[in-house]
Amino acid sequence: MVWFKRISFFLVVNFAMMITIGVIVSFFGLDRSVYRSTGLDYTSLLELCFLWGMGGAFFSLAISRIAAKWMMGVQVIDPNTGGELGELVRTVHNLARAAHLPAMPEVGIYDSPEVNAFATGPTKSRSLVAVSSGLLRTMDKAQLEGVLGHELSHVANGDMVTLTLIQGVVNSFVFFFAKLAAIAVANAGRSERENSRGSSFMVEFLFRWIFGLIGMMIVAWFSRWREFRADAGGARVAGRDKMRSALQRLRSYGEAVDGSHPSLAAFKINGGMGGFMALFATHPPLEERIARLDSLRT
């Protein structure tokens, strides 16, 4: 199930990140600075947690293009290529100019039956726009322009950086509150000064998972909000009719979404879950997106 893959991937990636950062922090003795003779220094702990959270988030942003190419098997298209792929590059570059991007993005294609596309990259000048082979087979030229306009609006809006900042802040508070909760459990009924170092490693990780899931809901909420904004941007860049036609086409292929790379879900044009798991969805329902697009002023 897609939602299970999303949560499982989140847990595995965050566990690996926490282990890596934890080893670095312990090796350099950075964690010892949060303890004083009077007990835990909450200000120092919060500063250390922000180092963990923001550091991990910005590292992910820095390698986002490389990671996307590796995970999705994206093949970057030479701008001088002819045929259909050359036309794809030219379309992206024309829309990028209309979106006033400072530099042309890389354009790529990945082999997948899903009807989807995504944009990623650390800055507006170093971005990647990739489409699936399934999308190229499914959509006509006008619909494709709508999809590409949407993705380029993500780049123009700086959504990758904004999402990274939000993820970093969320991660920081996840680390902070997990540490406090673990200390509270370890020190139950005893003084903080005597036992502040006694928080269990496994208990702390358990709280990180719990608070991490709550953090996922916050990040997912922002991701859903920015999808509406990118739809509006796609309408401005490519035209409202093309954007609407693209969303309607995506609705016809709502199940054709590859869930094997959840870390890229927020950067795709199509995705979502139903029921309670909608709280973790990076995209609003397509019906809601179409209605929101129709409500925009002409």
Tokens of 13: 């990636």
* Higher pLDDT among residues 14 and 246, named by residue: 246
User: How many domains, in total, are found in the chain?
Assistant: 1
Q: Are 4 and 273 in contact (CB under 8 A)?
A: no
The half-sphere exposure of 280 on its side-chain side, counting CA atoms within 13 A, is: 18
**pLDDT at residue 233 tops 60:** yes
pLDDT value of residue 40: 74
Q: What is the mean pLDDT of residues 262-268?
A: 44
> What pLDDT was estimated at residue 160?
87
Predicted confidence (pLDDT) per residue in 127-164, tens digit: 999 999 999 999 999 999 999 999 999 999 998 889 88
| Residues annotated as catalytic (active site), given as ranges | 151
pLDDT band (50, 70, 90) for residue 30: low
CB 128 within 8 A of CB 106: yes
Residues 51-102 pLDDT 10s? 878 887 888 888 888 888 888 889 999 999 889 999 999 999 999 999 999 9
Which domain range does residue 173 map to? 1-298
Read off the tokens for 264.
């890229």
Contact between residue 52 and residue 170 where contact means Cβ atoms under 8 Å apart: no
Backbone φ and ψ of 256, nearest 5°: -85, 65
How far apart CA 49 and CA 219 sit, in angstroms, is 18
Return the minimum-mean-pLDDT range out of 61-70, 104-113, 149-158, 186-195.
186-195
Residue 265 confidence (pLDDT) above 50: no
Average pLDDT over residues 173-190: 81
Whether residue 40 contacts residue 181, with contact meaning beta carbons closer than 8 Å, is answered with no
Q: pTM score > 0.85 for this model?
A: no
DSSP notation for 221-267: HHHHHHHHHHHHHHHHHH-HHHHHHHHHHHHHTTT----S-GGGGGG
